[in-house]
Chains A and B, each alone.
Chain A
């Protein structure tokens, strides 16, 4: 891009051409997609799209954030363009949410042109997870075991919970990698956690086997959908809030079903 073009791009008084508008809308949607996919709340998605588009020279942008679709119209002078993007939900990834958020702040400060933004979005899309999968297995098991202590479990139940939750996390990773239906993955994972955690009920092992069962499935708790749902509802994004709440409820039901199957199988009815 020449210097003149770059100046024109960032000069709010000069309207963008149709081609430039198309480029801006593409970049803004890409950023919004990364956020919505990885667990950002609706307000942040909308806000970031505004930052991106106005920072790249649009006069205004209107955004509709749906549970799995983003719809935007950008306008500059008399020109306007509209685009819809389907956004399949992926796992929570705060590093990507954080990276897009920082990028949008640099854009709105006028530090970046469109080519740089595109390169940055490309880099963010290809980020590798920070944590080795075995570390995740270990630490998530530890988190569930810590939960069991918070609930008042004894040490044998603590150990069983750690084991059960780690085994469940491993199964979850394996099933998710094979791209099974997300709800089926939850159900199977809860089942595995339940089967392992039931061993806490063996005679003479633990006085609090119930707490081991309750804690070992917590790695599946739909914390992000439910908290986002409540936040979206409070802030007036009703549709996306209701859908996220429904997702949270469905996940909870699948956890219950998986646990029920495990308890019927092992005969633990606690």
Chain B
């Protein structure tokens, strides 16, 4: 791919991710002043993921990296706007949600369950792959956005101060 085409790919990717994050930020009723930060988190996280996938990394690891960026960026914004990190991380992680994999798992399962057709074993394999991808990507999102807290705030809530 040409350099310009690549740049275009990343830019459009960031733009659509920002729109997706923005929509969900509105749905979650985030404070108006934080909308920009939510869109930024969404765009940056997903663009990082796309960049790494273009570089040949698998979608799970790329998601982990993207979500970690969202986690750290969310932490920075949270201090700047004095708002819980969750505001930014949840909206920012939304564009990475494995919607198509989840959809293919569901529809595949329902197709398999249709007993009027003989069982299609290729489809069974595809459904398993989609289900595992869905679970791994969700896990990667969760670990990624929790990463700053896990790495830099090691203390326990119980016991004395």
Chain A interface (Cβ within 8 Å of chain B)?
A: 39-41, 43-44, 46-47, 50, 92-98, 101-102, 129-131, 135-136, 139-147, 149-151, 210-211, 213-215, 217-219, 221, 223-224, 226-227, 229-231, 234-235, 252, 255-256, 259-260, 269-270
Instruction: Chain A residues near B19: list those with CB within 8 A.
Output: 142-143, 145-146
Shortest A65–chain B CB gap in Å is: 10
Q: Mark B122-149, 1 if CB is under 8 A from A, else 0.
A: 0000000000000000110111011001
What secondary structure prevails in chain B residues at the interface with A?
helix
Q: Is B107 an interface residue (CB 8 A)?
A: yes
Name B7-40 residues within 8 Å CB distance of A: 12-13, 16-17, 19-32, 34
A130 touches B142 (CB 8 A): no
Known: A39-B28, A94-B28. A234 touches B142 (CB 8 A): yes
A-B contact pairs, 8 of them (CB 8 A): A94-B86, A94-B87, A95-B31, A131-B26, A146-B17, A146-B95, A214-B100, A260-B110
Instruction: Chain A residues near B103: list those with CB within 8 A.
Output: 210, 213-214, 217
Known: A143-B24, A227-B141. A43 touches B150 (CB 8 A): no
Q: Is B94 an interface residue (CB 8 A)?
A: yes
Q: How far is the CA of A247 from the CA of B20 in the complex (A)?
A: 23
A139 touches B16 (CB 8 A): no
Instruction: Chain B residues near A231: list those with CB within 8 A.
Output: 142, 145-146
B99 touches A218 (CB 8 A): yes
Instruction: Chain A residues near B139: list those with CB within 8 A.
Output: 230
Known: A139-B22, A230-B139. A223 touches B29 (CB 8 A): no
Q: How far is the CA of A235 from the CA of B149 in the complex (A)?
A: 10
B87 touches A223 (CB 8 A): no
Shortest A192–chain B CB gap in Å is: 17
Q: Which residue of A lies closest to B83 (CB)?
A: A98
Which of A130, A149, A211 makes the CB contact (< 8 A) with B16?
A149
Known: A94-B28, A131-B29, A231-B142. A102 touches B23 (CB 8 A): no
B29 touches A130 (CB 8 A): yes
A140 touches B23 (CB 8 A): yes
Chain B interface (Cβ within 8 Å of chain A)?
A: 12-13, 16-17, 19-32, 34, 46, 82-84, 86-87, 89-90, 93-95, 97, 99-100, 102-104, 106-107, 109-111, 138-139, 141-143, 145-146, 149-150, 157
B157 touches A226 (CB 8 A): no
A256 touches B143 (CB 8 A): no
Q: Which residue of B lies closest to A136 (CB)?
A: B26
B84 touches A252 (CB 8 A): no
Known: A98-B84, A231-B142. A218 touches B97 (CB 8 A): yes
Instruction: Chain A residues near B102: list those with CB within 8 A.
Output: 221, 252
Q: How far is the CA of A149 from the CA of B16 in the complex (A)?
A: 7
Q: How far is the CA of A135 from the CA of B31 in the complex (A)?
A: 15
B157 touches A98 (CB 8 A): no
Known: A146-B17, A227-B142. A256 touches B110 (CB 8 A): yes
Q: How far is the CA of A130 from the CA of B149 in the complex (A)?
A: 29
Known pairs A94-B34, A224-B90; list 9 more (Cβ under 8 Å).
Answer: A98-B34, A131-B29, A143-B21, A144-B20, A149-B12, A150-B13, A150-B95, A211-B100, A214-B100
Q: Which residue of B lies closest to A270 (CB)?
A: B107
Known: A43-B157, A142-B19, A218-B99. A93 touches B28 (CB 8 A): yes
Instruction: Chain B residues near A146: list those with CB within 8 A.
Output: 16-17, 19-20, 23, 95
B84, B97, B109: most-surrounded residue (chain A CB, <10 A): B84
Known: A41-B86, A95-B31, A136-B26. A234 touches B150 (CB 8 A): yes
Shortest B93–chain A CB gap in Å is: 6
Instruction: Chain B residues near A98: list those with CB within 8 A.
Output: 30-31, 34, 83-84, 87
Known: A227-B142, A231-B146, A235-B146. A94 touches B26 (CB 8 A): no
